[in-house]
Structure 1
Amino acid sequence: MFPVEEIRKDFPILQRQVNGKPLVYFDNAATSQTPQQVIDAIVDYYSNYNANIHRGVHTLSQEATDKYEQARLKIQQHFNAKASHEIIMTSGTTHGINLVASGFGALLKKGDEVIVSALEHHSNIVPWQMMCERSGAVLKVIPMNDEGALVMSAYDALLSEKTKLVFVNHISNALGTINPIKDIIEKAHAVGAAVLIDGAQACPHVKPDVQALDVDFYVASAHKMCGPTGVGMLYGKEEWLNKLPPYQGGGEMIAEVSFEKTTYADLPHKFEAGTPNICGGIAFGAAIDYMNAIGFENIATYEHELLDYATAQLLEIDGLKIFGTSKQKTAVISFNLDGIHPYDVGTLLDKMGIAVRTGHHCAQPIMDYFKIPGTIRASIAFYNTKKEIDALAAAVKKAQLMLS
C-alpha cells in the first residue's frame, strides 16, 4: 500500500484552502510542490552557511562549496552519469537547451539538418529555430498522430547523413505521451547524429539512466521534481561538452585572463559563469534524496493507478474528450468539454479549490494539430489521491452545467 497520507504530511501547502475549499493541486506538470525536507535545506543554507563558493578560503565558503558539490554528486548518481563534471548546473531546462543550441550552432554549416518532434514544448523548438537562423541549418519535424504519439516511420525517413542533431522530449508536457527515446537515440547515432532529450516532464515520474540510454545531452529542472525553481541540470557526454564553446563569459569559467587572451576552465566550470543558485543546487540534491527515499518504482506504480482511475472517472462525463491517448503515457490528462472554452472551465474549477492548467501549455503546434485553442490539463503527482480525483470529476460536471 502506497503511504500517500503520510507523504502528504510532508507538504505544508497541501494543508491550505483556496477560495474556502481544500486545495486540490493538479498542476504538477507546471511545477510540483515542495516537501518540508527541501524547505528545511533552503532555510539551513541561509541560516547557517550562506557564502559564495569555490573562491573562498574561509569556513563558510568551504562549507557551502562542499554542500554544493555534494549536490552535484547526487545528481550524477541519480542520472548515472559517468563523471560529476558531466553535470552542468543551470537555471533550468530552458537554460540547458539554450546552452547546447548556442554552442552546437558553431559546429553546423549551411545545409546541415536537425530534427525536432511535433510534441515539443516551445523551449525545445525556439532555441533550435534561432540556431538554424544563425547557422543555415534546416529544421525537420517528426509528425504526430491522432493518439498524440510520434510517427516513427516518418522519423526513419527524415534521418540521413545530413542529420547532425535530434532533439525530442522524453515525455510530452501537454499530452503525457512517453516517447520511445531509446529507439530515437539508436537510430540517430546510426547516421552519426547527436541527441538531446528534454527530460523536464519525465524526471518526476521515472529515473533516467543516461549511460544506458547512451544519450548525448539530457536536461531537467528541479522544480518539476519537488525542488526549488530557478535551478536545473544539463548532462552532456564529456567529449561533446569539450567540443562546445562556452555559453557565457565571466567569473568561474576561466583558467587565465589577460587582455590579450583568455583560456577557459575545465568541465564543469567552463559552462558555469558567475555566482550560481547555490541554495537552489543544494536544495535540488535534497529533493532527489526525498524522491529516491520514496522510490521511483513505487511512484510510477501509484501514479499509473491514479491515471487509470482519473481517466475512467472523466470519460464518464458526456461531451468530454481526452487528447493524448497513447498506450505509453504518464499521469497527465488533457481534455476539453464540447462547446466550452478551456479557460472558462479552469476559472470555475479554481473557484472550487482545484488547480489545473488551461491553454496551449507552451506546445502550440500540438493544439494546432487538433484544431483547438488549448486544453484543460490535470497533471497528477504521487501526493495526489483518488478522493481528489473524485473532487475533480464532480467539479468538471458542475462547471459543465454552469457553462452549458
Structure 2
Amino acid sequence: MAGLKRKLKFLVTLTMVNLLIFILVFHGGGGQDKGHKKVLVPSTRFWSKLAPSQSYWNRQQQRLDLQHNPILASSNSNNTSHDYVRPVPDWLNDTGLNPDRCQPDYRVTTHVKDYNSLPPRFKDFLLYMRCRSYPLVVDQPDICRNTRRGKPFLLLAVKSLAPHFDRRQAIRQSWGQAGVLANRTVVTVFLLGNTTAVDHHPDLSEMLRYENDHKHDILQWDFRDSFFNLTVKEVLFQDWMTTRCPGAQFIFKGDDDVFVNTLRILKFLKGLSGPRVRDLFVGDVITNAGPNRDKKVKYFIPESLFVGKYPPYAGGGGYLYSGHLAGWLHRVSQHVPLYPIDDVYTGMCLRKLGLGPEKHKGFKTFDIEEKYRRNPCVYKGLMLVHRRTPQEMIQIWAWLNDPNLTCQ
C-alpha cells in the first residue's frame, strides 16, 4: 500500500512539473506573437538596380566588378532553374567584341561621347585599353638568379626611355649599383618600351643593343613608350617579376630622374618586422585628389573617361613595397581596367585589395627647398628626391659615401 502511494505521489509531481513547463513556454511564445502580429517587409529593395556609368572607365570597372562578383557567379552557375538565374544587363554583354584584346577596339568611338574631340593620346589609349600583353624583345631571364647571395633583397625597377642613356649610366654609377650593398643583395633593371618614329624619336635600336650587351640590365617590350602607356609598363613589369624575380623581398619602382638614397632604404628595411614587412607600401602619398579637368596640362582627364575621386596613391616618382604585396598587386590588377596615369592606377589596385599606401617623410617627389639642395647632410636622411640630373645623382652619391662626412 505504501509503495502505491509513493508511485502516485511521483506521478502527480511529474504532471505538475510538465504543466508548469508548458505554461511557461506557451506564455513566452504568446508574448512574442502578441508583439509581432505582422511580418515586417522592407520598404525599399536591398539590392538596387545598377545603372551603367556615363564615364567610360567607370563603366568598364562596373563590368569587371559584375563579372568577378562571387555571389552573382555562384547564382548563375549553381542554379539550373530559370527562376533563380540572375539576368545579365544588356550593357554588360560585349556583343561584337573582337576576341583579340590587342586589336584596336573601335567601339570606343561611339561609347565615348566626345571621342572625336579628344587629344590623340586619349584616342590611342582608348583604342588599346584592353591590351595587357606585348612581346618582350629584350629580357634578362637570369638576372635574379645570378646573384652571389641567392634571391635579391631589393629589386630596383627604373622606368626609362631609350634615349635616356645618360640617366641610366648615372644611376648605375650611383644609387642603382647592383651587387652587394650594406651586406644586402641589390638587383637593378631598367623598364623600356619602344620609342617609335610616330613620336619623332630617332632610331636608337643599335645603341640600345650595344648598351644591353655590356650592361645586361634592360627590359624592353614592343609597345609605344608614351606617358599614357606607363600603366602598360607597370602591368608588364608585374608579369615579368612574377616569372623572373618572384623571390625579391622588396621592390623600389621609380623614374630615371630621381635620386634614391639606397643606403637609407636598406637601413629602413632592416628595421622592419612582422605584418609591416608583408604589407609594406610607402612613398609620398597624395590624398583627396581627383582628375584634372584643365586641357592644357598633361594630367588632364575628361569626364567622359572618369568621374569620382582618386584613392590615396604614392607619387610615381618612386615608391617602395614588399615582394609579398607585389604578387597580390599582380593578381588584383586583372580586375582593374587600365587607367592612363600609372601611379593613380596602382592606388586603385591597392584599394581593390583593401589597402592603402603609407606616407613616409623621406620621399620628396616634389623636391626640397632650394636653400637645402647643396647640403649633403639633408640627403642623408632622405630616401628619394625628385628631380635630379645625371651629374647631380653622381655628386650626391659621392657626398653620402664620403667617410669624412659628419652631420649633426
TM-score tier, shorter chain, comes to under 0.3
Instruction: State the structure with bigger RCO (CA 8 A, min sep 6), 1 or 2.
Output: 1
TM-score normalised to structure 1 length = 0.26
Structure label with greater radius of gyration: 2
TM-score normalised to structure 2 length = 0.26
